[in-house]
Chain A
Amino acid sequence: SQQGEEDPQALSIQEGENATMNCSYKTSINNLQWYRQNSGRGLVHLILIRSNEREKHSGRLRVTLDTSKKSSSLLITASRAADTASYFCASHNTDKLIFGTGTRLQVFP
């Protein structure tokens, strides 16, 4: 399978804490994207980082990319209960997305 892996599989934190998720992918990429999925729903795009970028910020999100290690990380700062969801990285390769296995984040009030 070309599917990437994410670590940790599950993460529980308190509101206000930071959450870090890591992703490893297998193929060469045009870009690496992160999506969020609330329970049983569709995916929502969060942020995209291109293969020639090393770090990107969007609001409370910070993404890093290390193409030499084929890895990326997503940091959510000052988490909120509404951030509770599953988070997936997706490598963009020849027009399709190859998703990781996901991290389930639970943020307790």
Chain B
Amino acid sequence: DTGVSQDPRHKITKRGQNVTFRCDPISEHNRLYWYRQTLGQGPEFLTYFQNEAQLEKSRLLSDRFSAERPKGSFSTLEIQRTEQGDSAMYLCASSLIDQETQYFGPGTRLLVL
């Protein structure tokens, strides 16, 4: 257990529905990252925050995706109008600003039917 928690751990939804995932980082960590991992592949970067500021977004993050970290603590990732191609593991990680390694949560596995 790295100290990063994610909720829910599993989510099954129907195509077209909205889903929201939550990540609680290690408490003193300023940076929070979201990655997506499809079956048999490595994680792909989606976006990251430094405190409450969203500093970078990948082109993978379509208009249907939005992430927030309103108070610089926990973060949410929302997917609107889900598609079957959104089925994946969504991983959250955190770190300190000057820390190069990242601490990953257990992930939220999304299945879109």
What chain A residues lie within 8 Å of B44 (beta carbons)? 3, 99
Q: Are B43 and A96 in contact (CB under 8 A)?
A: no
Establish whether residues B100 and A101, one from each chain, have CB atoms under 8 Å apart when the complex forms. Answer: no
B42 touches A102 (CB 8 A): yes
Contacts of B35 in A (CB 8 A): 97, 99
Stretch of B12-20, B76-84, B104-112 lying at the A interface: B104-112
Interface positions, chain B 1-53, Cβ under 8 Å from A, are 2, 4, 31, 33, 35, 40-45, 48
| Interface of chain A: mostly helix, strand, loop or mixed | strand
Write 16 A-B pairs (CB below 8 A) sorted by A numbering.
Answer: A30-B100, A33-B101, A41-B106, A42-B2, A42-B107, A44-B2, A44-B104, A45-B103, A48-B101, A88-B42, A94-B56, A97-B43, A97-B102, A98-B45, A99-B42, A99-B44
Instruction: Enumerate chain B interface residues (CB-CB to A < 8 A).
Output: 2, 4, 31, 33, 35, 40-45, 48, 55-56, 89, 91, 93, 100-107, 109
